[in-house]
A and B are shown apart, each in its own frame.
Chain A
Amino acid sequence: MNFVKAIVAAGLVAASTSAFAADITGAGATFPFPIYSKWADAYKKETGNGLNYQSIGSGGGIKQIQAKTVTFGATDMPLKADQLEKDGLAQWPMVMGAIVPVVNIEGVKPGEMVFDGETLANVYLGKITKWDDPAIKKLNPNVKLPSEAITVVRRSDGSGTTFNFTDYLSKVSADWKSKVGEGTAVEWPTGVGAKGNEGVSGNVGQTKNSIGYVEYAYAKQNKLVYTAMVNKAGKSVQPTVETFQAAAANADWTHAPGYYVILTDQPGDKSWPITASTFILMHKDATDKAASQEAIKFFRWAFKNGGKMAEELDYIPMPANVVDLIEKTWSSDIKS
């Protein structure tokens, strides 16, 4: 009997200590998952407070915060101001990143090929089906392209990455806009679907003559062959922190209600065209105010100390003036 009691007591102690440590829970976008987990790790070391982030996808993040099952939700597809109002949510951008086309063609090295928006749209529309298509050849006169069918890889699950990618294609191709449009899960005209950024990376890495789109960090980690892009200004740019930052610098955060800014196809000679920011959603008047304050503390810490870590993972930290704006949002909107 004593033995049983001891076990029960041990269980109670374990339960109470874990409740005491008050882990912040968050769920949503897969796109910022690498950086959120890195931040959480460093934050835990520094403060002892943990963060439990589930990368279930942007749509899931929105749903979970609406259902109040998590302290914060994360999404790559910002909610519009009226929807935020309706659910009593506050929204702000947390970190920025970029989406890159990746290819797998024998002999082609990272950054060697270049795409423009329209050609990319036509590949994903199924209008361009071979690698030696004149449109691709014209952009890449010096690359040896095989006369092979293109295997188009895209996401099968709903995703914020897809939202930003299709948003970009909609901006650069009228045909794409009218036939497919933008969304987290669209009606793909062609291609094979893979689950998650990891799935697309895996598929492209594995399949000869394929093309896909992934968040830059995934492309880099998996050593995939990314391509350069022709941006709005007509300049060919490589995916680098510099070009991502150039795109971010052109965004007008001050005048966007609920920080609703989509960073694709930004002007500027150096702007990477498929740049995206990822957002945090929280209830203005949360039921668990302690957890909500704890989360704000974490985000404040991340803005202040997390910039370098973000850059190491090829994300772009938010500019200082935007962070100041967000601080104001916190103090005015989030009730404690």
Chain B
Amino acid sequence: MAVESDALQAAGPYDRAKALSAFKLGDITFYWITRASAISVLLILGGIILSLIVGAWPAMREYGVSFLTTQRWAPSADPPVLGALGPIYGTLVTSFIAMLIAIPVGLGIAIFLTELCPQWLRRPIGIAIELLAGIPSIIYGMWGFFVLGPFLAYTFQPAMIHLFDGVPVLGAIFAGPPSYLSLFNAALILAIMVLPFITAISVDVFRTVPPVLKEAAYGVGCTTWEVVRSVVIPYTRVGVIGGIMLALGRALGETMAVTFIIGNSFRITGSIFSPGTTISAAIASEFAESDGLHQSGLILLGLLLFVLTFIVLAAARLMLLRLEKKAGN
């Protein structure tokens, strides 16, 4: 500001037009710089999609739709047989279980922190969550490998298998020899990894609820539960769903930790205690040694992940639109 007024004074009273045009130039430059930055995002995204499609083209031509419906992944067969069903299944199952755990826990933490938590406990919990977000994913992988894995394999899974033995659907889901490298282990680690996304964003948006709204609700005799359910959540719905989507995006694409603990098996067994793989884990383990059609197939997997994430985000947008309409805006 100071510089600009200096410029105005230096220009003198009779050179107003010149000073104004200098401002205008600054404005235009600013406008174009920001605009170029914004457009570069589109260009980069387009470039990524394009190069994915180019790389995946040989596999697309070779396998077509059967790529999506084949479970067999045999890169060394002649000709190679590649099917993405295993990794797609693994990606969806681990993300689903992760969200199943992370959404209620994350929202729970956020509600506790903003509505119920005594002041002295607020900082420790807040910092703990920030730290959780800051831990590199390979550390989660190692923890899953050395600590969580053995616990699951020798304590938790046998108990669950015993508990649900003979129960129709659940029995099959929990069946199989317990192994500490499994879809379930990966899902648990993912749940912990995405928790900070949901919590941090929810806390931020919960704080935006005008106190007067809450006070009014309390004033007419609402309980804390009712305030949260009928005032806080509806008011912050968009932000909360945004946080959940961000978390889901990370869960779908997380690579390192998952590769470490999921067992990297392309077979679909139906049991969540058996090893599996995700799209990103499959690419991470096989890409370095792949060539030809195999590599093209892996790039096609990458493209699928891209599309999958896009669909999820689009679905979230649609859901939000619906909710807005319902709310009568």
Given A151-B179, A187-B73, check contact A158 B145 (CB 8 Å). Answer: no
Known: A156-B259, A185-B75, A191-B275; 15 extra A-B contacts, CB below 8 A, are A56-B288, A58-B289, A60-B288, A156-B264, A156-B285, A184-B289, A185-B290, A187-B72, A187-B266, A191-B265, A193-B275, A195-B259, A203-B181, A206-B149, A207-B179
Instruction: Check: B253 CB closer than 8 A to any chain A CB.
Output: no
Closest B residue to A153 using CB positions = B181
Instruction: Check: A183 CB closer than 8 A to any chain B CB.
Output: yes
Closest A residue to B150 using CB positions = A206
Instruction: Check: B286 CB closer than 8 A to any chain A CB.
Output: yes
Q: Given the complex, which residues of A lie within 8 Å of B72, measured CB to CB?
A: 187
Contact of B76 with A157 in the complex, beta carbons under 8 Å: no
The majority secondary structure among interface residues of chain A is loop
Q: In the complex, how many residues of chain B place their beta carbon closer than 8 angstroms to a beta carbon of chain A? A: 32
Contact of A181 with B76 in the complex, beta carbons under 8 Å: yes
Closest B residue to A187 using CB positions = B74
Q: Given the complex, which residues of B lie within 8 Å of A191, measured CB to CB?
A: 265, 275
Contact of A185 with B177 in the complex, beta carbons under 8 Å: no
Instruction: Check: B291 CB closer than 8 A to any chain A CB.
Output: yes
Interface residues of A toward B: which range? Answer: 20 to 34
Option from A157, A187, A192, A203 in Cβ contact (under 8 Å) with B289: A157
Query: Which 9 A-B pairs rank lowest in CB-CB distance, beginning with the nearest?
Result: A158-B289, A183-B76, A193-B264, A156-B264, A187-B74, A59-B289, A192-B263, A149-B177, A156-B285
Instruction: Check: A127 CB closer than 8 A to any chain B CB.
Output: no
Q: Given the complex, which residues of A lie within 8 Å of B145, measured CB to CB?
A: 202, 206
Q: Given the complex, which residues of A lie within 8 Å of B286, measured CB to CB?
A: 156-158, 185
Q: Given the complex, which residues of B lie within 8 Å of A156, measured CB to CB?
A: 259, 264, 285-286
Contact of B288 with A188 in the complex, beta carbons under 8 Å: no
Q: Given the complex, which residues of B lie within 8 Å of A44, measured CB to CB?
A: none
Contact of B265 with A158 in the complex, beta carbons under 8 Å: no
Closest B residue to A59 using CB positions = B289
Contact of A207 with B288 in the complex, beta carbons under 8 Å: no
Instruction: Pull 19 A–B residue pairs with CB atoms less than 8 Å apart, ordered by A.
Output: A58-B289, A59-B290, A59-B291, A60-B288, A156-B264, A157-B289, A158-B288, A183-B76, A184-B289, A187-B73, A187-B81, A188-B265, A191-B265, A191-B275, A192-B179, A193-B275, A194-B264, A195-B264, A206-B149
Q: Given the complex, which residues of A lie within 8 Å of B77, measured CB to CB?
A: 181, 187
Instruction: Check: B146 CB closer than 8 A to any chain A CB.
Output: yes
- Within the complex, what minimum Cβ distance (angstroms) separates A53 from chain B? 15
Q: Given the complex, which residues of A lie within 8 Å of B76, measured CB to CB?
A: 181-187
Given A60-B288, A192-B264, check contact A186 B74 (CB 8 Å). Answer: yes
Option from B154, B181, B288 in Cβ contact (under 8 Å) with A157: B288
Q: Given the complex, which residues of A lie within 8 Å of B150, measured CB to CB?
A: 206
- Within the complex, what minimum Cβ distance (angstroms) separates A212 from chain B? 12
Q: Given the complex, which residues of B lie within 8 Å of A184, measured CB to CB?
A: 76, 289
Instruction: Check: B67 CB closer than 8 A to any chain A CB.
Output: no
Closest B residue to A199 using CB positions = B260
Interface string of B148-184 (1 = CB under 8 A from A): 0110011000000000000000000000010111000
Instruction: Check: A57 CB closer than 8 A to any chain B CB.
Output: yes
For A157, A159, A190, the residue with the greatest tally of chain B CB atoms inside 10 Å of its CB is A157
Q: Given the complex, which residues of B lie within 8 Å of A157, measured CB to CB?
A: 285-286, 288-289
Q: Given the complex, which residues of A lie within 8 Å of B266, measured CB to CB?
A: 187
In the assembled complex, the Cα of A184 lies from the Cα of B288 at a distance in Å of 12
Q: Given the complex, which residues of B lie within 8 Å of A208, measured CB to CB?
A: 154
In the assembled complex, the Cα of A183 lies from the Cα of B291 at a distance in Å of 13
Closest A residue to B145 using CB positions = A206
In the assembled complex, the Cα of A243 lies from the Cα of B289 at a distance in Å of 31
In the assembled complex, the Cα of A291 lies from the Cα of B11 at a distance in Å of 66
Closest A residue to B180 using CB positions = A207
Closest A residue to B287 using CB positions = A157
In the assembled complex, the Cα of A159 lies from the Cα of B286 at a distance in Å of 10
In the assembled complex, the Cα of A60 lies from the Cα of B291 at a distance in Å of 9
In the assembled complex, the Cα of A58 lies from the Cα of B288 at a distance in Å of 10
Q: Given the complex, which residues of B lie within 8 Å of A186, measured CB to CB?
A: 74, 76
In the assembled complex, the Cα of A156 lies from the Cα of B262 at a distance in Å of 11
